[in-house]
Amino acid sequence: MNVEVGSNLYRNTDGMIEVEGVPQIELAVKETTGALMVNFALFDAEGKLTAKLNDSTLMINEKRAYGVHRTPKSLELTHLVSGNVILKMELKAPDLVAFTKGAFHTVKGHLFEVSPTEWKIDKLRASGTTHDLKGGSVVLG
């Protein structure tokens, strides 16, 4: 599977995105339907789990603070009060998932942000790169 994070392309991945050493996002395409499936762990600034997606469904939703809008080809997780987009994913082709927007804390409490042009964690940024991961995970931070 190929994964875009902002404007960065990661080819031949296993669908896992590790942020600061922790597998935080897992992407898959359901074979029978072609639907995008997202597993994701959301932490607060202290590293406490506040929400969890399993197969694109909210399984943990502390204080019912988050909402999911999904179609077979996309998923958007938002904070209901602020309207902030936590995670926005789109299946652009059968083997290409684009992570185009989002902002959330890593398990270490750092803010991870994705825009259409880059991803960044504190002062670490990446924009416009291409990597062949040869079946490995996307490692950010």
Domain residue spans of the chain = 2-140
Please choose, from the candidates 44, 52, 2, the residue with its C-alpha nearest in 3D space to the C-alpha of residue 23.
Answer: 52
Low-confidence residues of the chain: pLDDT under 50: none
Torsion angles phi and psi, residue 108, rounded to 5 = -85, 0
pTM across the whole model: 0.95
Note the pLDDT of residue 60. 95
CA distance 22 to 38: 16
pLDDT of residue 105: 95
Q: Give me the pLDDT at residue 122, please.
A: 86
The rounded distance, in Å, linking the Cα atoms of 2 and 92 is 10
Tokens representing residue 125 in the block: 């940024």
